[in-house]
């Protein structure tokens, strides 16, 4: 991990930092240890989740979904260093037109049996050139079950 980090967000499972990565802004997502979990469970769990999220972020690009590029994966420190997307969250610019675009993204994920797990307006960024990026696949998983796909959509509806 780099030393010149600016904390952007602290979540339940991870912390997001703005860092300088070889002269460019980047995001460092670090999965944090949970004191209530035994380390024999916590370490493999954080390792597996870090690898899984990096894989999903890369795989969905094959379906035409914009996600940040992964620059580096540091398994030892449970860290993903990825592209910094300059823009605002959909939460800041919510409109019915954006819902159509988000529906297309979610539909593409679901047609490929990927459940995002946390579809909220905060997990989509509109870049400065008006491209929508899906982010935060930390709770994502593969499923063919209609119930899982429906639960994904239900969360967005409730938001």
Q: Is 92 a catalytic residue?
A: no
H-run or E-run covering 16? strand 14-21
H-run or E-run covering 40? helix 39-59
Please tell me the distance from the alpha carbon of residue 49 to that of residue 93, in angstroms, as a whole number. 30
Please tell me the distance from the alpha carbon of residue 99 to that of residue 94, in angstroms, as a whole number. 8
Q: Which of 74, 118, 136, 152 is catalytic?
A: 118
- For 19, the token pair is 């860092």
Beta bridge pairs of residue 73: 80
Which residues form the catalytic set? 118
């Amino acid at each position: 991990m780099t030393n010149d980090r600016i904390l952007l967000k602290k979540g339940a499972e991870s912390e997001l930092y703005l860092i300088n990565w070889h002269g460019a802004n980047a995001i460092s997502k670090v999965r944090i240890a949970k004191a209530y979990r035994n380390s024999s469970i916590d370490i493999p769990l954080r390792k597996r989740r870090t690898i899984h999220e990096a894989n999903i972020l890369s795989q969905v690009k094959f379906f035409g979904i914009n996600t940040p590029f992964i620059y580096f994966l540091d398994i030892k420190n449970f860290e993903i260093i990825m592209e910094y997307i300059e823009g605002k969250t959909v939460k800041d610019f919510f409109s019915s037109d954006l819902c159509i675009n988000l529906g297309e993204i979610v539909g593409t994920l679901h047609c490929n049996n990927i459940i995002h797990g946390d579809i909220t307006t905060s997990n989509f960024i509109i870049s400065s050139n008006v491209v929508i990026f899906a982010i935060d696949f930390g709770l994502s998983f593969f499923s063919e079950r209609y119930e899982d796909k429906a639960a994904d959509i239900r969360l967005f509806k409730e938001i």
